[in-house]
Structure 1
Amino acid sequence: MSQDAVRQIAKKTANPAEGEWLQQARAGDTSAFEQLVRPYHKLLRTHCYRMLGSPFDAEDALQETLLAAWRGLGSFEARSSLGTWLHSIATRICLRMNSKRPRRLTSGDRAAPLRSTAELGEPVPGPVWLEPMPDSELAENEDPAAILLRREHIGLAFVAMLQHLPGMQRAVLLLREVLGYSAAETADMLGTTVAAANSALQRSRQTVRAKFPVQSGEMSRIDAQGLELLLQAFLSAWESRDVTAMVDLLADDVHFTMPPLPAWFIGREFVRKFFAERVFQTPWRLQPLRGNGQPGFACYLKQAGDNRFRPGGVVLLRVSNDRIAAIDSFLDAAVCRRFGMRDEFY
């Protein structure tokens, strides 16, 4: 690599060592390559998660991206930033994976909400459900305005909406609206024309407006102290199995989902029935966690005859107007492990 190319890389990054790492990596130094790409891991994983709707698929895509970048390092000539080049590789890998895998679904995509708690159905197996991502695995940003924007762009509702878009529209929307690339950059990254990229963006925006009503600022309507009090009240109501206290925290149109079970409920009346007739028939212990930029809990339950609490599921909450608008619970053991839940809880 020429010294001019090294200088070009240095101009495109906040890390002046990146050009030297690239030069060493192209000479076969795997340690230099790891130093080069490590700062991009979370950014790429987050992008792949938005594209694929599963942290497990996103991890597969990230590893494939890094392998492809290592093998193709000789083709990178610093005409764009390293981050742009890596995102281009990751996006194309995700598009290929999307073409071979079923679309990730939410409970509402599969069936109508239930009105009775008597039968919740059998778990639907396989890689079919939208899955949450722990905040610890997401790209970080300390700027308050950027944090609020990230909540919108990584929240379960937004990621679920993305899964309704065809792969190319999904990619263009993310590259343009979330990552901030220009039309020309996006077209180059996807190997298409500017006109085609703009057309895909227009169509994706139409779908977003139809399927993702404006929710900007929902979390900001409740301050940090108010949110903490709400979460404490939620934890207390759940652990004490207090139906009345729980219902007082819920929005009128609250949703309660529980993949991989197909059952879900909507509205305070039916969510109250589900808590009273099913959930609160078992003792629980909850521990706070965060996923998809949302507050939540690791939920442990104690079955009859057991003296320990075992993983029951990961719950993420969506808060709107000082009330809980959605309770999305994920019962899959793999999701529980990804969020660091212990095998038992005293």
Structure 2
Amino acid sequence: MLRDRAITALNSSLSLPQALEAVRPHLLELAQADSMALCLMEITHSLHFQWLVPGHRIPILEEYASVVDHDFFRAPIFARPQTVIRDSELLSRREYERTRICQRSRELEPRIEHIMAVLLPIRPGFFGALALYRNRPRAYSSQNAAVLASLTAHWVNTVRNCSDVQDVTIGTHLIEELYRRPDAAILIVEPPHREVLRSSHAIVLLERWFTPSELHSSGLPLPLKERLDALVRMDPDARLDKNVWVSLHADGYRTVRFIELPNPEGPRRWALLMHEIPISIPLPAEMKRKLTPREVTIATCLLRNWTNKQIAGELNRSLHTVKTHVRNLLDKLGIDGRADLLYQAARLNKPV
């Protein structure tokens, strides 16, 4: 029940600070922690970070720049993204008490006696690091770590959606901002099929994409209505890798990203963001930097909509080897699946 409440809280807002405030009491109780913080990191030529701390202050994080070089968690979590790591797995108790972070936290109060953290790959060059803290000398258990691990995919999804919204709106409401853009193709629907608004560019795309026989009586295209109906029925775990609809045509890919909009009063609405992607999508430089040469080759094949079997035949590799490469490169890029790879590649080449 607590886990369900935590997931609901993570999806309660497209403002990251508000989502953190909402999830905080449920996550702390679930993981038996005293405080939490999320560090947003952009890695370009150097590391840029921002700490978001819901609830009570954590003084040591306010002077993190002075102790960042002593952060013994940074290298391990970057080496094992989306894996929950506890301080007791890295250092003995005596070694931990000698660290600069432990000693400085005791000077500032409250004491940080134990830490559990996980790296959240959001998109190439952008990461989140979620940390939970205990102020009492009782180490986190493997069960505590398992609980946090079960929510990792939801955290990635929340941070990514909030970040995308922030990039688009820059302080303006999502719908208003997108609707004003002449190239924005956005459809707002209140399930099961009441259309709230349709931007002018969405009208153009929908008329080009679908014939009259493919429309529901409400005017919504049947393929999109069926996907929305399925998402509404799914629990949050099942939705994670199914919120992008992709259709391949001779002139390119047609994609629709489904985003559930927060609405504290009344029924939830969904934003359908539509985009056309040329048939040949170049692999963005931000993605290339994260991959080995072999993974770059396979990612390029994925962007051509090749199957694993086609890739294996073209590269003269076993199907098992190709599947391993695909899984590894998606993990490195922090991407949920093939459909999301298409969407993120298009977004980086030409932001939606």
Give TM class, smaller chain: under 0.3
TM-score, length-scaled by structure 2: 0.27
Higher relative contact order (CA closer than 8 Å, sequence separation 6+): 1
TM-score, length-scaled by structure 1: 0.28
More strand by share: 2
